[in-house]
Structure 1
Amino acid sequence: MVVTMATGYSQEIPTDTSTYTLTLKQAMVSKAGKPVAAMTVNDGIPGPTLRFKEGGYAVIYVKNEMDEETSVHWHGILLPNFFDGVPYLTTPPIKPGETQKYEFPLKQAGTYWYHSHTMLQEQSGVYGSIVIEPKEETLTYDSELVVVLSDWTNQKPHNVLRNLKRGNEWYNIRKGTATPLNQVISRGGFSAQLNFWKQRMESADIADIYYNAFLNNGETTTEYPDFTPGEKVRVRFINGSASSQFWLTFGGKNPMLVSADGLDVVPIDHNKTFIAIAETYDFIVTIPQQGKLEIRATVQDGSGQTSTFLGKGDIISAPDVPRPDKIDMMMKMA
């Protein structure tokens, strides 16, 4: 096995060192009705959660068992430039059959994630979560759960890109978010449509791609029945999507928002939170005395959703998020 390391890089490794090995493979995966070619991290999508302690030291081996080069970027982590993981910019790509060693001190705490920075591999499944526990915990909760949001297409990612370059409305039509011309005219928006056509735009643009499914922790719906009534759960959300943004809504009482992008915030009770691509948010939710709590992630253009359920019993549904009015948006934008 070839091990690629930074030439001349040396540092005394602390005793508080956490070591992981991530193995990237190509596999047939079924997430939305049929098996398609994908990429896995340690045989899963998403990859495993990497847990560290603030002030410690991380050593991560990434093994490339695919037939193409790859990379892993540690999103939001403060580290030496060489280990940032952007191929040909900061870090050499990991060639087929090679292993890249990453090592860096852990200077921060919070919720972060990792993903490929090579071509369209993130869309194919190369992503996972990172949790760095603080030296001193300032929040009170009983347990925690990591939820990685993502989008899934049964198409080859390169075919998706090829279709986007054609500039057609096929994806909007496929997912029911197109703006038919007769409806535009009936609502007095024809001049706005002409304005958009002049700018080589079809209609108000929210999300470009049709996805077969939206996932949390690799599934369209996940159940966590072992949480007990009254238990306070820190739920760490990561939007690991390739191109989808979500509204997070919670059933029952409003959750407490405690962290954003790895940084603690003044705790506030808050429902309906917008989470953009690559963002992370931490909430503390209290499991209801009766029923299971739904946490729903609704994609921004209203074309789909994914739900997480905590607890047991009848569903305590999360609030609906209405589909946006794209014709109205277009008229305002024009």
Structure 2
Amino acid sequence: MTTLINRRRMITSMVGLAAAASLPVPAWAKGTSLPHARNGFGELSGEEINLSIANHHFMTSGRMGHAFAVNGTVPGPLIRLKQGQDVRLHVTNKLEEDSSIHWHGLLLPFQFDGVPGVSFPGIKPGETFTYEFPIRQAGTYWWHSHSGLQEQAGHYGPIIIESAEQDSRYDRDYVVLLSEFTPIHPHEIMRKLKVGEHYFNRTMMIATEGEMSGEMRRMWGEMRMNPRDISDVTGSTYTYMINGHGPADNLQLAFDRGERIRLRIINGSAMTFFNVRIPGVPMTVIEADGQPVDPVEVDEFQIGVAETYDVIVAPQDGSHAIVAEAIDRSGMGVASLTSHSGHVATPPPLRETPTLTMVDMGMMDHGAMGHDMSGGGMDHNMRDTSKLPGDVKVGPGLDMVAPMPMDRMDFPGLGLDKVPHRVLRYTDLRAARMNPHREVEREMEIHLTGNMERYMWSFDGKKFTAVTDDPIRFGFDERVRVKLVNQNMMAHPIHLHGHFFEMVNGVDHMHQPLKHTMVVQPGGTATFDLTANEPGDWAFHCHLLYHMHAGMMQVVSVRPFPHEGHH
């Protein structure tokens, strides 16, 4: 008991210090008694749904801290809807700060999209806001706060929209919502990243330096980069969760012998890419981001922040570990899929941390650098801004240029390109339903830019605060091909609100898979075709929460052009 009280006292004082450094101290940080949030979620359905956002304590796997819980749980409730219904969601904000809910992946009128300052003013303390819209689609989605950094602290939950058509391919259906919990307040994490973006990576750096050859060490040092700087925030502070349960909770998902099970896997984390596998059990991918794809059987896949994949599995009798291993291998979320109540599957050990390569810097190989490796040219080559288009702003917010960015849609994700089993690639995805045929009318390029040392992130070198008056403009119903060019060494999951775009992944254009979030690999490019047929102003951003918060966001404005030829 004393340990718990001491830990509570310590966390309260840490949170207090973090808050005191910036804003007036909120009530929850003054040691005020707060209710404990329950781990996991209940379910709500129907045409009228009530949600309430409030301060809570939360605990899992021995870590405890403050949470923004919705209806008293972390994650918040599963919202189950039916295609074709109308819904009214009444959201009450019991916090001392503004809040919001964004319905991630849902097609709806833009004023109900839930992004403060873009599509509505936000929900003030003590107020209730009603979201009202028809349900136009089916599939697996999720919801989360779009205010400050609340999403990191528990303010998110799953959405299932049942199709009007019956699906006889499975007997049972589970949500597998992946996320993280940390006792450190999100604003304190942001402060630490600003002070030094390696803050949560120190042990990884030391390990790497010991393994590298002298030449490699000198090369990375010359570029002022760390080949294991893969995740900005790691298992040193995060507990990785499945459905609100850390590994120590022994979460079990029951099944009966011979059943086929649909797992709706949602990456609802703030900052973590996960490698998902069930050792010994193949997974058949049937949907990506809620949209049907031709079935693809794999043994593992990497899921970017905010993506969803639905898979069908047919496990043998017994217990099987559902493993969501963080991309940097600093921890994992674990649950047991079991036909024997009380039996907990043993997860595999963590694998070795992967290391970034020349390709992740946008270089084919050493020779592509055009400079002698031992000279001082490498650093110059990585920062040669003369190759950038004129509309990319060059300044302190841009400290790296990929010399030869190339299409990496076929790359399965860092650490999964050398494994012996089958791994999902974007190039494996093919839309199950045919897309309407449309010729591309216009092409554009958007550069993903940043300064990792200063923790500045942007599109085209411009932070969000500097570009709100100059949105990305699309004419209503215009067909545009957008090429995203990643100028740095981190994978970025890029999300467009209010639309599905078609990934240009090499399949015939009538079957390009529909997505709302797409990972752009380090030093690589990724392209999508968009028919801009949802009018209004929409957020467009990196879904790594601290990247968005640091400026990697834009507004996409879809409306009729005032006169012909205005692009």
Fold shared, TM-score > 0.5 on shorter chain:
yes
Residues 1:262 and 2:295 aligned together: no
Offset of residue 57 of structure 1: 1.1
Q: Distance in 1 between matches of 2:277 and 2:46?
A: 37
With over 3 angstroms needed to count, the CA separation of the structure-2 counterparts of 1:46 and 1:332, relative to structure 1, is: closer
Q: Distance in 2 between matches of 1:254 and 1:34?
A: 33
Q: Distance in 2 between matches of 1:61 and 1:42?
A: 12
With over 3 angstroms needed to count, the CA separation of the structure-2 counterparts of 1:53 and 1:181, relative to structure 1, is: closer
Match of 1:56 among 63, 68, 85: 85
Q: Distance in 2 between matches of 1:253 and 1:31?
A: 27
Match of 1:305 among 332, 335, 338: 332
Bigger relative contact order, structure 1 or 2, given CA contacts below 8 A and separation 6+? Answer: 1
State the SS of the aligned residue for 2:269: coil
Match of 1:193 among 220, 224, 237: 220
Letter in 1 for 2:251: E
Aligned partner of 1:209 in structure 2 is 233
Aligned partner of 1:11 in structure 2 is none
Q: Distance in 1 between matches of 2:304 and 2:360?
A: 22
Per-residue CA deviation, residues 174-230 of structure 1 (Å, 9 max, x unaligned), is xx3224585266353133223321xxx444421011333000100113433531111
Match of 2:299 among 268, 271, 275: 271
Aligned partner of 2:321 in structure 1 is 294
With over 3 angstroms needed to count, the CA separation of the structure-2 counterparts of 1:156 and 1:324, relative to structure 1, is: same
Match of 2:128 among 92, 99, 112: 99
- Root-mean-square deviation (Å): 2.3
Residues 1:329 and 2:357 aligned together: yes
Q: Distance in 2 between matches of 1:318 and 1:105?
A: 42
Match of 2:163 among 131, 134, 137: 134
Query: Which of the pair is proportionally richer in strand?
Result: 1
Offset of residue 17 of structure 1: 5.6
With over 3 angstroms needed to count, the CA separation of the structure-2 counterparts of 1:18 and 1:295, relative to structure 1, is: same
> TM-score if structure 2 supplies the norm length?
0.52
- Maintained 8 Å contact 2:288/2:308: yes
Aligned partner of 2:152 in structure 1 is 123
Q: Distance in 2 between matches of 1:160 and 1:143?
A: 39
Q: Distance in 2 between matches of 1:315 and 1:30?
A: 21
With over 3 angstroms needed to count, the CA separation of the structure-2 counterparts of 1:109 and 1:185, relative to structure 1, is: closer
User: How many aligned positions are there?
Assistant: 312
- Maintained 8 Å contact 2:204/2:228: no
Alignment of 1:107-256 (within 5 A): 107-167=136-196, 169-173=198-202, 176-179=203-206, 182-183=209-210, 186-197=213-224, 201-210=225-234, 211-221=237-247, 222-224=250-252, 226-256=254-284
Offset of residue 251 of structure 1: 2.6
Offset of residue 19 of structure 1: 1.9
Q: Distance in 2 between matches of 1:247 and 1:53?
A: 30
Residues 1:40 and 2:69 aligned together: yes
Per-residue CA deviation, residues 147-189 of structure 1 (Å, 9 max, x unaligned), is 110011111110100010012533112xx32245852663531
With over 3 angstroms needed to count, the CA separation of the structure-2 counterparts of 1:140 and 1:292, relative to structure 1, is: same
> TM-score if structure 1 supplies the norm length?
0.87
Offset of residue 249 of structure 1: 0.7
Letter in 1 for 2:218: S
Match of 1:87 among 109, 112, 116: 116
- Maintained 8 Å contact 1:249/1:318: no
Aligned partner of 1:8 in structure 2 is none
With over 3 angstroms needed to count, the CA separation of the structure-2 counterparts of 1:194 and 1:47, relative to structure 1, is: same
User: Larger Rg: 1 or 2?
Assistant: 2
Q: Distance in 2 between matches of 1:185 and 1:229?
A: 48
State the SS of the aligned residue for 1:112: strand
- Maintained 8 Å contact 1:255/1:270: yes
Offset of residue 31 of structure 1: 2.4
With over 3 angstroms needed to count, the CA separation of the structure-2 counterparts of 1:316 and 1:126, relative to structure 1, is: closer
Residues 1:285 and 2:309 aligned together: no
What percentage of residue pairs aligned between the two structures are identical? 37
With over 3 angstroms needed to count, the CA separation of the structure-2 counterparts of 1:293 and 1:316, relative to structure 1, is: same
Q: Distance in 1 between matches of 2:54 and 2:238?
A: 22
Per-residue CA deviation, residues 219-244 of structure 1 (Å, 9 max, x unaligned), is 11343353111111111011000000
Aligned partner of 1:3 in structure 2 is none
Per-residue CA deviation, residues 38-73 of structure 1 (Å, 9 max, x unaligned), is 110110000111011111111111110111110000
Offset of residue 293 of structure 1: 1.6
State the SS of the aligned residue for 2:103: strand
Structure 1: any 5+ residue segments left out of the alignment? 1-15
- Maintained 8 Å contact 1:189/1:331: no
Offset of residue 292 of structure 1: 0.9
Aligned partner of 1:5 in structure 2 is none
Letter in 2 for 1:239: N
With over 3 angstroms needed to count, the CA separation of the structure-2 counterparts of 1:145 and 1:332, relative to structure 1, is: closer
Deviates more, 1:161-170 or 1:16-25: 16-25
State the SS of the aligned residue for 1:230: coil
- Maintained 8 Å contact 2:96/2:125: yes
Match of 2:98 among 33, 49, 69: 69
With over 3 angstroms needed to count, the CA separation of the structure-2 counterparts of 1:187 and 1:329, relative to structure 1, is: farther
Q: Distance in 1 between matches of 2:209 and 2:302?
A: 32
With over 3 angstroms needed to count, the CA separation of the structure-2 counterparts of 1:48 and 1:182, relative to structure 1, is: closer
